[in-house]
Amino acid sequence: METVIYILSWIFLLGGAIFLLVGAIGILRFPDFYTRLHAVSVCDTMGAGLVLAGLMLQGGFSLVTVKLLLIFYFMIFTGPTAVHALAQAALQGKLKPVVDEHEQQ
């Protein structure tokens, strides 16, 4: 059981790391703001979630887990809220999404 949890935790952690990396590459490579939002969302939810879950498994059931849960709870709410607010502000600020590759040129 111990080993299973241990291995599981590392899988979670590694998975989270991969998502984080992917999201980071996304934010660098995507063409415009709105697309980059997606990349960030990947980081915020999947990446963060998996890493935290992995840590929870590592920590066992204690105050640590509670705190990690709390962090997770916060992140799951704040991330999208921030991104949403950001998108809304961008829209309000008349930022145009890049619709077509040709148009951009």
Partner 1 sequence: MEILIDTILLVLLMITGFSIVRMRSLLAATMLTSIYSLLSASLFVVLDAVDVALTEAAIGAGISTILLLATIALTTDREKPPQRTPMLPLIVVIITGMALIYGTLDMPHFGNPQAPVHLHVAPAYLHDTPGEIGIPNVVTSVLASYRGYDTLGELAVIFTAGAGVLTLLGYRTRGGNSMDPGIRKLLILRVIGKLFFPLILLFALYVQFHGDYGPGGGFQAGVIFATGFILYALAFGLGNAQRLIPHQLLRIMVAFGMLLYIGVGIESMLLGGKFLEYNVLADDPVSGQHLGIILIELGVGITVASVMLMIYYVFRSRQPEGDL
Partner 2 sequence: MFIAISAVILVAIAIGLLRAFLGPTLYDRVLAANMSGTLTVLMVAVLGFMTGRPEFLDIALVYVLISFVSTIAVLRVCGTGCGASRDPEADSGEG
CA distance 53 to 11: 10
Residue 55 contact among partner 1, partner 2, none, beta carbon within 5 to 8 Å by kind: partner 2
Do 90 and 33 meet the contact criterion of CB atoms below 8 Å apart?
yes
Interface with partner 1 in residues 15-74 (CB under 8 A): 74
- Find the helix packing angle between 48-59 and 2-29, rounded to 10°: 160
- Which residue number, 94 or 101, has a Cβ lying nearer to partner 2? 94
Out of 95, 98, 99, 104, which residue is the one contacting partner 2 (CB under 8 A)? 95
Do 72 and 51 meet the contact criterion of CB atoms below 8 Å apart?
no
What's the Cα-to-Cα distance from 19 to each of 3, 8, 49, 68, rounded to whole Å?
Answer: 24, 16, 10, 19
What residues make contact with partner 1 under the rule CB under 8 A?
74, 77-78, 81, 84-85, 88, 92
Applying CB under 8 A, the residues found at the interface with partner 2 are 10, 13-14, 16-17, 20-21, 23-25, 27-28, 33, 36-37, 40, 43-44, 47-48, 51-52, 55, 58-59, 63-64, 67-68, 70-71, 74-75, 78-79, 81-83, 85-86, 89-90, 92-95
